[in-house]
Amino acid sequence: MKKKLAIIGAGIAGLTLANFIKKNSEHEFMLYEKQDSLSLDEGYGIQLSTNSIKILNLIGFSKIDNKKIFHPKGLDFYSFKNKKICDVDISQFNTETNKYTTMQRSTLIEFLKDDIYTTHLRFGKKIKEVSELKGKVLIKFDDNTNDLVDIVVAADGIFSNTRSFFEKKKNEPKFKKAIAIRTILKSKSELNIDEERISLMMGSNCHVVIYPVNRNKDLNLVCIIRNKKYDPDNIYKLVSKIVSQNNIFEKVLIGNLKSWPLYFTPQILPSTNSKVFYIGDAFNGFLPTLAQGAGQSIESAYELFNLIKENKTNIQNTYFQTRLKRAKIVRKRSNFNFFVFHFSSTFMQSIRNFFIKFLVKRKRFINSYLGTVYKN
């Protein structure tokens, strides 16, 4: 049966779902974005493992300009003093067509918006009121327009405004007491790393991830620092905590630094309305320490699309149970990584480094810890 959908939020999750509906179904849809435009500046980098690249290739991602993306072959672990601990070959999970890929977020947004922008995307749309009418959902926007749809898909992020209209039980995101700082490097800046690989440096109450985002080998640097408060006007005070552990970062963390507080979703709750679905961060907000945020947005959109396309019965429960099982795996590993990466005790760091060196040589462990996520 032909359905009409309202997708709320034009981020990676919403745009991915919109592409699948447009290219692979007869359903009607409109994508609503509360901002006045899409953010297409250079933006920060994202990592997409083979699980999400396989999905994107179904909507033509394999045709993207190779100069705009990169395929790192491995992950190198370092101490914060640039001493290499060990490495992992992440290309072992690649296939000929589906490869671990890094890029700038804007590159993916540009790709996803191409077939949607003109006729299926409306800007400046903020929900004012929702109600049910003759078995459908009536959405009223604050610009006095409305839409009557069969299905509402909330893809508007971890602080989902849509969720507040449909759910009585609060599930407010919680501050992880950690701050992320990002910049784009034009060179490895004396860091003594392999700029064709992902580099993970683990320090006291912080860690840094650096990876190439295109064929020019521009490097995306993200630093996660534990801190009880987020004060965007005093980011350089946080930077001093990094520099004190390795003064090379004084030459790196300069200029136009972007920062944001890290939040996570405390519970994973189902929708209480059979006509309303949550995808991406609106379903569950992950910590970035497994680099699966964008990937899980893509996966959740694809899972929901298949259920809607096939007109499955009891879609709500099937979708939630499938997504819950997957989200728990990613969440558990992300939380564990956050804990392990930030040991402040040198003794604990030594023990951690010993076990990392031991475990990365065990194929069974790598297949279980990473393969379970990457090859889904």
Summarize the confidence of residues 345-356 as an average pLDDT.
Answer: 97
Rounded average pLDDT over 23-40: 91
**Average pLDDT, integer, range 140-154:** 97
Mean pLDDT throughout 222-241? 91
Percentage of the chain lying above the pLDDT 70 cut: 98
Kindly report which listed range (42-51, 145-154, 214-223, 344-353) carries the lowest average pLDDT score. 42-51
Residue 321 has pLDDT above 90, yes or no: yes
By CB atoms closer than 10 A (0-12, 13-18, 19+), residue 361 is: exposed
Share of the chain above pLDDT 90, in %: 84
| CA 216 distance to own-chain centroid | 23
What is the pLDDT averaged over residues 85-91? 96
Mean pLDDT of the chain: 94
Least confident of 135-139, 195-199, 253-257, 296-300: 253-257
Element (H, E) at 84: strand 84-88
Average pLDDT for residues 216-241, to the nearest whole number?
A: 91
Query: Does pLDDT of 43 surpass 70?
Result: no
Average pLDDT rounded to a whole number, residues 175-187: 89
> Cβ neighbours of residue 332 under 8 Å, at least 6 residues apart?
none
Coil/strand/helix, residue 189? coil
pLDDT tens readout for residues 239-282: 998 999 999 888 888 778 899 999 999 999 999 999 999 999 99
Two tokens, residue 305:
């699309």
How confident is the model over 101-129, as a mean pLDDT? Answer: 95
Q: Over 70: is that where the pLDDT of 100 sits?
A: yes
pLDDT at 1 over 70: yes
Residue range 58-80, pLDDT digits in tens: 999 999 999 999 999 899 999 99
Distance CA 375, CA 49 (A): 8
Query: Token pair for residue 239?
Result: 């930077």
Comparing 365 with 169, which gets the higher pLDDT? Answer: 365
pLDDT beyond 70 at 107:
yes
With a CB cutoff of 8 Å and minimum separation 6, the contacts of 114 are none
* Cβ atoms of 277 and 303 closer than 8 Å: no
Residue 42 confidence (pLDDT) above 70: no
Would you say residue 41 has pLDDT above 70? Answer: no
The pLDDT confidence band at residue 188, using thresholds 50, 70 and 90, is low
The answer to whether residue 292 scores a pLDDT higher than 90 is: yes
Average pLDDT over residues 354-361: 96
* Residue carrying structure tokens 């569950």: 284
pLDDT higher than 90, residue 187 = no
**DSSP string covering 26-38:** --EEEEEESSSS-
Q: Which pLDDT value is given to residue 313?
A: 78
Angstrom distance (rounded) from CA 299 to CA 277: 14
Q: Provide the β-strand partners of residue 73.
A: none
- CB of 330 closer than 8 Å to CB of 214: no
Residue 301 has pLDDT above 70, yes or no: yes
Q: Per the structure block, which two tokens stand in for 24?
A: 């692979």
> What is the per-residue pLDDT for 94?
95
pLDDT of residue 173: 96
